[in-house]
Amino acid sequence: MQTVSENTCFGGIQGVYSHSSKACGGDMTFGLFLPQEAKDGPVPVLWYLSGLTCTHENAMTKAGAQGWAAEQGIALVFPDTSPRGEGVANDEAYDLGQGAGFYVNATQDPWAPHFKMWDYIAEELPALITENFAIDGERQSITGHSMGGHGALTLAMGLAGRYRSVSAFAPICNPTASDWGRKQFTAYLGADESKWAAHDASTLMREVGFDGPVLVDTGTNDQFLDLLRPETLAEAAFARRQEGAIRMQKGYDHSYFFMSSFMEDHVSFHAEALYAG
């Protein structure tokens, strides 16, 4: 692992690191904020998964999460959204290929050799950060935006017992019925739609739910509402009597201005779960 940069931030350290990834077959880069409490021992961690076209850097510099995480003594991990580099498959469209990993393990060519983002987020990167930093692997929560909100919800429901809480900003809630999903799942996972269900938050909510609190915020002025389909997640959550809140925030859109406006809510929500018990 190589240190790309480290900067003092709200009394802690905002670092950027690169490493060779076995899961993705090449070098990967991630951001990690460690609060000052990490100097004295392992701290709980909140994962932040970003959306289409983003790298590790977007949320790290725009979401305004570090100040609230510092108040709560929580670490933040900002992974990249896909493998990158020479020899990694790509597409001219912004919503497929590099920057658009969708947090799945691709099984189809030309994506399969590198696009193993589920394994990377679920297994490889957690092992790396708990081995090298003062991170308490028993206290993890997860959040994300748009494609990253989809990833946060599906990882939380797909990995029972891993995360104490899950939240999302404007998540893609029903990708199997959306152009933000059907296109990518066909490319990455193949035409057999039965293999897509494990990566659809609304389907997972109906079938398994989440053993903990859920918080989802979407703006009423989000320009991608028809692609996000938040109503499908809400219907599934209410049918299941899922603990949590699914909120529509008046006037907000899909931007980082929206996320930063409600970041305090989300970090405080996760802190309550991470420090419970």
**Alpha-carbon span 241 to 34, nearest angstrom:** 35
59's tokens = 């949320």
Residue that the structure tokens 């028993």 belong to = 138
Active site residue 146: yes
For CA atoms 34, 25, 103, 94, give the dihedral sign.
Answer: positive
Q: State the burial class of residue 3 (Cβ atoms within 10 Å of its Cβ: 0-12, 13-18, 19+).
A: exposed
**Alpha-carbon span 149 to 153, nearest angstrom:** 6
Query: In Å, how far are 17, 28, 109, 145, 258 from 125, measured between CA atoms?
Result: 11, 10, 24, 19, 28
* Residue among 146, 165, 167, 178 flagged as catalytic: 146
Sequence-separated contacts (24+) of 189-194 with Cβ below 8 Å: 189/104, 189/106, 189/107, 189/108, 190/107, 190/108
Active site residue 211: no
* Residue among 114, 145, 254, 266 flagged as catalytic: 254
Active site residue 20: no
* Residue among 165, 200, 222, 266 flagged as catalytic: 222
By annotation, the residues acting in catalysis are 146, 222, 254
